[in-house]
Amino acid sequence: MNVTVVSGDLAGMETPLLVVPVFEGDAVDPAAAALDQALGGAIASVRARGDLRGKEGDALVLYPPADAVKAERVLLVGVGKADAVTAEKLRRAGGTAAKQASKLRASSATFALPDTSVSIGDAARAVAEGAVLGAYTFGELKSTPADQPTPVALADLRIVAGDGDRAAAEEGARVGDIVGRAANFARNLGNQPGNVATPSYLASTAEEIGERFGMTVTILGPAEMEAEGMGALLAVARGSDEEPRFIVIEHRGGAEGEKPLVLVGKGLTFDAGGISIKPAAGMEEMKFDMCGGAAVLGAMQAVGELGVKANVVAIVPSSENLLGGRAMKPGDIFRAASGKTIEVVNTDAEGRLILADALHYAKRFDPAAVVDAATLTGACVVALGHQASAVMGNDDALVEELRRAGDRTGERCWPLPMYDEYREQIRSDYADIKNSGGRPAGAIAAGWFLREFVDFPWAHLDVAGTAYGDGKLAYLTKGSTGTPTRLFVEWVLSRAG
Ligand code: BES
Ligand code: MN
Ligand code: ZN
């Protein structure tokens, strides 16, 4: 999307679609009030009738009489009470604008930033991000019938800001566009079916990113994994004909010798559960089991485009988890790269196995901090639903950083406790640990398993309930959400200063 910042009075905006945020209650934005004068009080009148209350999610299109204003259409978008407007509400308004634009077949729109307590930079970023996210569709594998018009997506967004605010608005719009596209990039990977987005496909995607931004990419295949002693990752890959890949991208934007931030993402391209097979109903959703890895790749695209001045390393262990004559079996014991032995009591707890070898690999970078993201447990979905990812780790300050970054991006995460006693659940009678602690506190037991493989500041995001969904949010569509791409970028930016 081409995002630019313009200045001027709203009545004079020449555009197919002028988007005007409307507050709930009596407050009226001064710029919107001036526009309403030119419209002969049309906005005040739809509000007086109660046709538009300004509640979040409300949207109404007005067709101004010729010559009243320069815009062809005016889209009123509710953003809730004037004193309660947040970046997230503006992000959603941006999403609503993009979706309405597509419905109206308008490829260009002009968005009037309201005057609120959200800074101009943050507001422009949120609107741009929301519009880029809201304009996303995944139709590439559908044929368009000849008698159907080709869909139109918003391609050109103009954000209206005051003259004095232009620099801040432009910077915000630039970042919002980059971050939104990074999340869409991750959504695209997530939405691809398992027969397309294979481990090798993720690896070549990583290579493309590396080439575009001058990052070093290292791809390990089975032989190299063997040499690294990655018995846990290799155990998961045993049941599949599709070869596993271990993907590493290094962005060196910081000083030489500066400890890197490391992002790790589960890249399980299809999870059938293995011999501990999953039920058939809904199993197709397990193509989304690589969304943590996709978010890491999306975040690296943003890191490259933003030219982040920090060292950032991405690690994506990638495999399928299928069934076969050579597949790992319940009771099997494997040695992970760290040297620890793992009893596999449930082959469906495979994500933690591939992450174990990835987290151990991170140690060689002497990381400042490591954050992993994984669609790791159904238990996390039970605990938090689809409204927040779970966050846990060995460093309370890092967990709090992520929680705050989550609040700022709308990709929220909420801490789960890591009391020592939970560790008991993964004690094994036959090996150093076992890969499942049963049903109680399933998300935390998984976190404790990962913790066995780290000795650096680390946090884990369980995104099982947030990485994909029904697309009810204004800036989302059904399928992959891109979560936690934006949270990753926000956290990296907060660290990069
Ligand atoms: N990929 C699944 C977790 C998952 C479940 C993600 C639902 C998204 C939605 C993971 O590999 C898994 O199967 N976890 C098991 C662990 C159990 C066997 C200890 C689970 O949650 O049931
Ligand atoms: Mn599984
Ligand atoms: Zn899985």
For residue range 363-418, what is the model confidence (pLDDT) as tens digits? Answer: 999 999 999 999 999 999 999 999 999 999 999 999 999 999 999 999 999 999 99
What one-character DSSP code corresponds to residue 13?
-
Q: Which atom of ligand 1 is nearest to the CA of 438?
A: 19
Q: What is the pLDDT of residues 62-119, one digit of tens each?
A: 999 989 999 999 999 999 999 999 999 999 999 999 999 999 999 999 999 999 999 9
Q: How far is the CA of 429 from the centre of ligand 2 (A)?
A: 22
Half-sphere exposure (Cβ direction) of 328: Cα atoms closer than 13 Å: 30
The stretch 303-320 carries a mean pLDDT of: 98
Nearest to 267 by CA among 210, 330, 200: 200
- The active-site residue out of 91, 187, 352, 412 is 352
State percent of the chain over pLDDT 90: 98
DSSP string, 6-60: E-S-GGG---S-EEEEEEESS---HHHHHHHHHTTSHHHHHHHHTS----TT-EE
Q: How far apart are CA 27 and CA 24, in angstroms?
A: 7
Which atom of ligand 1 sits closest to the CA of residue 276?
A: 18
Closest CA to 463 of 266, 313, 184, 233: 266
* Distance between Cα 119 and ligand 1 center (Å): 40
Among 143-157, 263-277, 482-496, the least confident range: 143-157
- Ligand 1 mutation pick, 236, 276, 323, 377, max ligand atoms within 8 A of CB: 377
Determine how β-strand 18-24 pairs with β-strand 108-112: parallel
For the Cβ of 381 lying below 6 angstroms from any atom of ligand 1, the answer is: yes
Q: State the chain's mean pLDDT as an integer.
A: 98
Q: What's the CA gap between 319 and 41, in Å, rounded?
A: 60
* Predicted confidence band of residue 236 (pLDDT cuts 50, 70, 90): very high
Q: Which atom of ligand 1 is nearest to the CA of 268?
A: 1
| CB 464 less than 6 A from any atom of ligand 1 | yes
R_g of the chain computed on alpha carbons: 24
Residue-wise DSSP of 376-438: --HHHHHHHTTS-EEEEES-HHHHHHHHHHHHHHT--EEE----GGGGGGG--SSSSEES---
Q: Is 245 a catalytic residue?
A: no
| Separation of alpha carbons 311 and 383, rounded Å | 34
Residues 445-454 have a mean pLDDT of: 98
Please indicate whether residue 348, judged by its CB atom, sits closer than 6 Å to ligand 1: yes
Q: Is the CB of 447 under 6 A from ligand 1?
A: no
pLDDT in tens, 240-291: 999 999 999 999 999 999 999 999 999 999 999 999 999 999 999 999 999 9
Average pLDDT over residues 2-15: 98
Residues 6+ apart with CB under 8 A from 438: 425, 445
CB crowding 261-282: b at 16 or more within 10 Å, else e? bbbbbbbbbbbbbbbbebeeee
pLDDT of residue 299: 99
Using the mean position of ligand 2's atoms as its centre, give its distance from the Cα of residue 268 in Å: 9
Q: Write down the residue that tokens 């008698």 correspond to.
A: 147
From 376, 381, 389, give the residue whose CB has the most ligand 1 atoms within 8 Å, as the site to mutate: 376
For the CA of 435, the nearest atom of ligand 1: 19
3-state secondary structure (DSSP) of residue 308: coil
Please name the helix (run of DSSP H) or strand (run of DSSP E) that holds residue 77, with its range, or none: strand 74-81
Tell me what pLDDT residue 150 has: 87
DSSP assigned state of 281: T
Q: How far is the CA of 428 from the centre of ligand 2 (A)?
A: 20
The per-residue pLDDT for 145 is: 85
Q: Per-residue pLDDT tens for 163-204?
A: 999 999 999 999 999 999 999 999 999 999 999 999 999 999
CB 20 within 8 A of CB 64: no
Verify whether ligand 1 is closer than 6 Å to residue 320 (CB atom).
no
Distance CA 288, CA 200 (A): 16
Question: What is the structure's pLDDT at 146?
Answer: 87
Nearest CA to ligand 1 atom 8: 464
Query: How many CB atoms neighbour CB 101 within 10 A?
Result: 27
